Amino acid sequence: MTYVWGRHPVFEALRAGRTVDRLVIAEGTRALGLLGEIIQTARERGVDVQFVDRRALDRLSDRANHQGIVAEVADFNYRTLDDLVAAGSSATVAPLVLVLDGLEDPQNLGTLIRSAEAVGATGVVIPVHRAVGVTPAVEKASAGAVEHLPIARVTNVVRSLVDLKQRGYWVIGLDPGGNQAYDQIRVDAPIALVVGAEGKGLGRLVRETCDALVRVPVRGRVGSLNAAVAGSIVLYDILRRRKSGA
Amino acid sequence: MTYVWGRHPVFEALRAGRTVDRLVIAEGTRALGLLGEIIQTARERGVDVQFVDRRALDRLSDRANHQGIVAEVADFNYRTLDDLVAAGSSATVAPLVLVLDGLEDPQNLGTLIRSAEAVGATGVVIPVHRAVGVTPAVEKASAGAVEHLPIARVTNVVRSLVDLKQRGYWVIGLDPGGNQAYDQIRVDAPIALVVGAEGKGLGRLVRETCDALVRVPVRGRVGSLNAAVAGSIVLYDILRRRKSGA
């Protein structure tokens, strides 16, 4: 069992059919809008709905921004790389897999998953080791998008990339030193886009495994973008160019 | 006086010539890489450098992720809208001003400022009321970009937009219900891009003041993007299209 908190994540967990064992709501919260919809859906499903002191929610969520609602849910259901590849093969659009090489910030991971879901990506690959998994904070930052997008946890990112290449994927690494601009890459093939860790970028072996390294140009003095923003810009440009047939 | 923490923000504050009164560093921190450069620069400038117990930094930064370094600095120097317009007029590229209508999350504000600096924007406009200002958390999330980009605080966003329109700016609001796709807008004129608050979007009067409302299309089930990501995608597409002459 684990928890999910915040209105959107709880709503999306219910909507996606995740097993919800208990819904805990802060006393005095007005059941309007999305919260009203959540309570109604939970009751229809026979979920136990409890109204408790707000401090109990602070404890359950470790003082996160829970917005007055916490759900006790089944553990997150990770998929395998094979699941993602199968989903990509059966889709009507060209597959697009986002591979995250050691992201440590839950906010960035959640934001990238939200963007990947928004562009209709096939799924997301994250490493088991030295990286954040799908925690409640990630679920919150994703606005519940984790509920609608297959996420595979793999023990070895390099091996997964080699696997994807053998299955016809074009593996593109996001790298400040990349020799191709992000809006010039080929987008007709199935794509695996690799985003590295905040501040560190791609690991050496990961970089060497990529078919191409692309950069998002930066004009200012700071010289870098937030990792989630950079990844999202490339995801959107792939969507834009696939649509326009460029 | 105020504080700035984290390696990049402190480095950028020094580099931008902001008045630094004192540099406080956690005992036992190794003065390598960027931190070494910071200490050297501070000493050359005659800044008082103190090595203290890490817990003192936790207190100064209210337990933020200070990375072992906190600087006591002069208050943030906000500019006026006139300053931004003047900077835009004297630049060799078409002006691009980012206007934030009531953003509340420091992480999102910092991330957007970082993106604006990265595309070479003219500056950023934020409201005085019901919105976050340039706090240390914003400075941290911006990786220090706030030090290199003029930021104006205004009492009335609508009046500022009217002002910008009168000076030849094309005012574009980012809105999920916008009737133009973000990659179709005209980019030759000076642009003011308006991004609304998380979850709420643009205020009614702000929306009515815009010359055009644009949307970033969303395919998934969650149906929305993080505000900082959506704004950054549009900023980058303006840069891309201005470069390509599209």
State pLDDT tens for residues A155-211: 999 999 999 999 999 999 999 999 999 999 999 999 999 999 988 899 999 999 999
Ordered by where they begin, the domains of chain A are 2-73 (3.30.1330.30), 81-244 (3.40.1280.10)
Please report which confidence band the pLDDT of residue B130 belongs to, taking 50, 70 and 90 as the band edges. Answer: confident
Longest dimension (CA), chain A: 56
Query: For chain A, where are the alpha helices, taking DSSP H only?
Result: 7-15, 33-44, 54-60, 81-90, 106-118, 136-141, 157-166, 204-209, 227-244
Q: Looking at the partner chain, which of A216, A232, A240 has a beta carbon nearest the beta carbon of B183?
A: A240
pLDDT of residue A132: 85
> DSSP state, A52?
E
Nearest by CB to A143, from B117, B119, B222: name it: B222
The pair of three-digit structure tokens given for residue A74, joined into one six-digit string: 């089944």
To the nearest whole Å, the CA of B28 is away from the closest chain A CA by: 22
Question: What does the mean pLDDT of chain A come to?
Answer: 94
The shortest CB-CB distance from B220 to any of A8, A118, A141 is to A118
What per-residue confidence (pLDDT) applies to A200?
Answer: 87
**pTM confidence score:** 0.94
What contacts A18, CB < 8 A, 6 or more positions away?
A: A73, A74, A77, A147
Residue B91: pLDDT band with limits 50, 70, 90: confident
Q: Which residues of B touch A (CB under 8 A)?
A: 8, 12, 15, 107, 111, 114-115, 117-120, 141-145, 148-149, 183, 216-226, 228-229, 232-233, 236-237, 239-240
Q: Are A145 and B220 in contact (CB under 8 A)?
A: yes
- Judged by CB atoms closer than 8 Å, whether chains meet at B111 and A226 is answered as yes
- Mean pLDDT along residues A22-47: 92
Of A15, A107, A222, the CB nearest to B145: A222
pLDDT of residue A146 exceeding 90: yes
Query: Is B229 close to A144, i.e. CB distance below 8 A?
Result: no
pLDDT at B88 over 60: yes
Q: How far apart, in Å, are the Cα atoms of A51 and each of A10, A14, A55, A63, A246? A: 15, 18, 12, 18, 54
Segment A203-241, tens digit of pLDDT = 999 999 999 999 999 998 998 999 999 999 999 999 999
Phi-psi category of residue B24: left, alpha or beta, with phi > 0 → left and psi -120 to 50 → alpha: beta
Question: Are residues B117 and A8, on separate chains, in Cβ contact within 8 Å?
Answer: no
Q: How many CB atoms lie within 10 A of CB A204?
A: 9
Q: How far is CA A53 from CA A29, A60, A71, B110, in A?
A: 10, 11, 15, 34
Task: Check if the beta carbon of residue B167 is closer than 8 Å to that of residue B73.
Answer: no
Contacts 24+ apart (CB under 8 A), A179-183: A179/A213, A179/A215, A180/A212, A180/A213, A180/A214, A180/A215, A181/A214, A181/A215, A181/A217, A182/A214, A182/A215, A182/A216, A182/A233, A182/A234, A182/A237, A183/A237, A183/A241, A183/B240
Q: Hey, is B233 helix, strand or coil? A: helix
Q: Please say whether the dihedral angle defined by the alpha carbons of residues A142, A132, A42 and A48, taken in this order, is positive or negative.
A: negative
Q: What is the ipTM of this complex?
A: 0.92
A17: left (phi over 0), alpha (psi -120 to 50) or beta: left
B154 closest CA partner among B137, B129, B122, B117: B129
Closest chain B residue by Cα to residue A232: B229
Q: Contacts of residue B108 in chain A, CB cutoff 8 Å?
A: none
Q: Report chain B's mean pLDDT, rounded to a whole number.
A: 94
For the stretch B28-82, pLDDT in tens is 888 888 999 999 999 999 999 999 999 999 999 988 889 999 999 999 999 999 9
pLDDT tier at A246 (50, 70, 90 boundaries)? low
Q: Measured between beta carbons, which residues in chain A are less than 8 angstroms from residue B117?
A: 220-222
pLDDT tens readout for residues B144-185 = 999 999 999 999 999 999 999 999 999 999 999 999 999 999
Give contacts of B237 with chain A, Cβ < 8 Å: 240
Contact B236 A216 (CB under 8 A): yes
Q: Are B227 and B197 in contact (CB under 8 A)?
A: yes
Tens digit of pLDDT for each residue in A76-103?
Answer: 999 999 999 999 999 888 999 999 998 9
According to the model, what pLDDT value does residue B246 have?
Answer: 56
Q: Which residue of B has its CA nearest to A65?
A: B105
Residues of chain A that touch chain B, judged by Cβ-Cβ distance less than 8 Å: 8, 12, 15, 107, 111, 114-115, 117-120, 141-145, 148-149, 183, 216-226, 228-229, 232-233, 236-237, 239-240
Among the partner-chain residues B115, B142, B226, the one whose CB lies closest to the CB of A111 is: B226
* Sign of the dihedral defined by the CA atoms of residues B205, B209, B211, B216, in that order: negative
